[in-house]
Structure 1
Amino acid sequence: MRILHILNHTRRLNGNVHAAVDLACAQVRLGHQVYMASGGGDFDHLLRERGITTLLVDHERKFSKLARSLIRLNGHIRKFDVDIVHAHMMTSAVLAFPICKLKGIPLVTTVHNEFEKSATLMGLGTRVIAVSDVVGRSMRRRGVAASKLKVVLNGTIGSSRMEGRSGEPKALKSPSVLFVGGLHPRKGLPDLFEAFDLVHEEIPGAHLYIVGNGPHRDQYTKLVASLKCAPAVTFAGSIGDPYPYMLAADIFVLPSHADPAPLVLSEAREAGCAIVATAVDGIPQLLEHGEAGILVPPRDPSALAKMLIHLLKSPEQITAWKEKSQLRIDYLTIDRVARETMDVYRSAIPSGKMGV
């Protein structure tokens, strides 16, 4: 099958880029011809190494540029005679829709960020993929017909992005609590800082590591500096591969307020982390509804602190939850994601028009 993925860019900034890159590489392994149209970025070299043709399509939201991008995208689709177009972001879906409609090519969209109002536009797809059950229910409430909606739960294990990574744990101060993700309000970091201040009072030797970057970094470093726990908090910044941190951490924590299906939980489970996360959006599904990780209420620093203190005072419980993180972990492979996505494609392509 000839597959064209389209997304705003291929930079390492957010999870939907990682998901699209992982999927494209896995589809090549299944024997398909894959193209990636975007504004370019960090992952282009990896994509080309895996045999994926990278195509430049600017997604800047200015009418003149989008008009040129529409013409360019149309040329790529015609030149490569693609069977399916898969859009991963709202601008991508809007660009691809008129071309696919005119040419009779199925458009598949994936809803990564359901919390954005613009996610409704992903309903333009012939088929719409939701990255978790919660996202699927939300899109149905927005008017997307159940007949064209399919849930394909995120998974990262076996990702091409992870090939050649270090299996050596990072040297961390113990006991350690780790957060990995973007420094954005929806990730709930102020809750974590307030909770860790309580943890630090009870367990002065505990240390918190924050891996990631984002527009609120300065705000968060100032917030932490005002707390008693400040000397025990490390902002590690953006790390190309946080896996060594996950291998070393005593507890991995994700205090999100909104998170459709965070890839980082798949990665943390692969690393064998004991996980504490908030019971919002797709997080419970990724943690087997509490069997593979501990769920706590969102926006409740005291409840989070209580659970972290409980675990840090009970090393045997940390060990037990590390073992539980491996429950049904094979379901979180990128190969499973790729196979289920190919099934969605086949359901969208009229019989007799499939290239491979």
Structure 2
Amino acid sequence: MTRSRSGGDRMTIVLAVGSLRLGGTEHQVVKLAVGLRDRGHDVHVIALRYGGPLRSALKAAGVPVRVFAYDGVRQRDGAGRLSPRGSLTHLGRLLALWRYFRSLRPDVCHAFLFGCYTRVLPLAWAAGVPVRVNGRRGATPPSPLGVRREILDFLGRRASSLYVCNSRAGADELVRRERVPARRVVVISNGVDLPDTVADVEGRPARGIVVANLIHYKGHADLVDALTLLARPPKMTFVGEGPERDALTRLVGARGLTGTVELTGAVPDARPLFLAHQFAVLPSHQEGLPNAVLEAMAAGLPVITTTVGGIPEIVTDGVTGLLVPPRDPAALADMIERVAADPGLRLRLGTAARRAAEDFGVPRCAARHEAAYRAHRW
């Protein structure tokens, strides 16, 4: 067995993320931190920019957290002019992060998402951290090209000794588009907690749930359009917050669905809400490997979702859920109507979904990460 820098089997592992606000990646970082700690490792979490409500979950689990409050080196004053003083302050925060690595001397630094791995991994590399993991959660969102972006891309790639993707689709894209050698890419699916009980999917009338940030590419507007096509649309709960809230509220009202669609806002933990519904929907236009789908499956819910990203890797059409093309309200409406009207179908799909979710338990996810870290020499 590969031994850590301290000479034992216990590794010191730093998980780095942009913030500890509510989001799929952030929830996965918490699960992974606790799972690795439970396997006997010394785990630390750093938030490059912000703290957030998930910090308390880490604290309760005994995982140390440090927030660096870095917000970019191109700081501006109230008039929009570049602020040398502000820039120096944030450069100092990057220096503090380098000193943190030098002091802690971790065996592994695993950084998640572009804004984090392009800043954190180069500093970890400069500080001598042996294993530097570039965590990919799906397709990198498009952004304007430019010298600054190219420099960040270059630094992030140069500083990465291993890439971990949460779906085969994401890994294939990484190899194809960014020309990362396949030998340096590992696929490890998200981890999910398995509740002791499952939802009463045969309950009537059937009610659906969507757990996703209110962002345009999550497809909430497509779902509203689909409900409009149904003579008797089932009630739907939208759980999440984001920039599309006002637009969705107006759309729901304009389509006469105010009594059908409930926007609850964000919640720290949506898992209990899955247990109070009969089916789940995720109509996304793009995804990596969505936590919401796995959590719905773990709760024994049939899931109606789209054929994007890594979703077809976890949902088998007609067996553990139902798949539809993205941006197709008519197809989505047909599947919602079918599932809402048939408790037997919901029970069959939901039972199979729960069984499939057991392969994605947090302990297995943590063990797979540990094995990937150990496979790289230091």
TM-score by length of 1: 0.88
Q: Provide Cα deviations, 1:302-326, integer angstroms capped at 9, x if missing partner.
A: 0110111122222211221111212
- Please give the root-mean-square deviation of Cα atoms over the aligned residues, in Å: 2.4
Q: 1:113: Cα distance to partner?
A: 4.0
Contact 2:138–2:165 under 8 Å retained in 1: no
Alpha-carbon separation, structure 2, partners of 1:293 and 1:59:
42
Residue in structure 2 matched with residue 353 of structure 1 by the alignment: none
Q: Percent identity?
A: 27
Q: 1:157: Cα distance to partner?
A: 1.7
Q: Provide Cα deviations, 1:104-139, integer angstroms capped at 9, x if missing partner.
A: 322111111424147966544110101101100111
Q: Which residue, out of 15, 19, 26, partners 2:35?
A: 26
- Which runs of structure 2 are paired with 1:90-239 in the superposition (5 Å)? 90-105=114-129, 106-117=131-142, 123=157, 124-141=159-176, 142-157=178-193, 174-199=205-230, 201=231, 203=232, 206-239=234-267
SS at match of 1:155: coil
Going from structure 1 to structure 2, the CA distance change for 1:149 and 1:248 (only over 3 Å counts) comes to same
Contact 1:173–1:207 under 8 Å retained in 2: no
Gaps of 5+ in 2: 1-10, 75-86, 144-151
1:129 is aligned with what amino acid? V
Contact 1:252–1:273 under 8 Å retained in 2: yes
Going from structure 1 to structure 2, the CA distance change for 1:256 and 1:168 (only over 3 Å counts) comes to closer
Contact 2:198–2:300 under 8 Å retained in 1: no
Residue in structure 1 matched with residue 13 of structure 2 by the alignment: 3
Q: Provide Cα deviations, 1:125-171, integer angstroms capped at 9, x if missing partner.
A: 1101011011001111121111111111112225xxx8xx99898xx
Q: Which residue, out of 81, 89, 100, partners 2:113?
A: 89
Q: 1:223: Cα distance to partner?
A: 0.6
Residue in structure 2 matched with residue 40 of structure 1 by the alignment: 51
Tell which deviates more after alignment, 106-115 or 256-265: 106-115
Q: Which residue, out of 291, 308, 326, partners 2:354?
A: 326
1:135 is aligned with what amino acid? G
2:56 is aligned with what amino acid? H
Going from structure 1 to structure 2, the CA distance change for 1:284 and 1:97 (only over 3 Å counts) comes to same
Q: Provide Cα deviations, 1:242-273, integer angstroms capped at 9, x if missing partner.
A: 22321121221110100111011111011110
Alpha-carbon separation, structure 1, partners of 2:197 and 2:270:
10
Q: 1:290: Cα distance to partner?
A: 5.2
- After TM superposition, the runs of 4+ consecutive aligned structure 1 residues lying more than 4 A away are 118-122, 165-169
Q: Which residue, out of 51, 61, 69, partners 2:62?
A: 51
Residue in structure 1 matched with residue 275 of structure 2 by the alignment: 247
Tell which deviates more after alignment, 241-250 or 183-192: 241-250
TM-score by length of 2: 0.84
Gaps of 5+ in 1: 351-356
Q: 1:87: Cα distance to partner?
A: 0.7
Going from structure 1 to structure 2, the CA distance change for 1:331 and 1:166 (only over 3 Å counts) comes to closer
Contact 1:130–1:149 under 8 Å retained in 2: yes
Contact 1:2–1:33 under 8 Å retained in 2: yes
Contact 1:177–1:249 under 8 Å retained in 2: yes
Alpha-carbon separation, structure 1, partners of 2:56 and 2:259:
39
1:277 is aligned with what amino acid? T
Q: 1:190: Cα distance to partner?
A: 0.9
Residue in structure 2 matched with residue 354 of structure 1 by the alignment: none
Q: Provide Cα deviations, 1:50-93, integer angstroms capped at 9, x if missing partner.
A: 22111221231234244122211111112112111111122322
Q: 1:175: Cα distance to partner?
A: 2.4
Alpha-carbon separation, structure 2, partners of 1:285 and 1:49:
33
SS at match of 2:268: coil
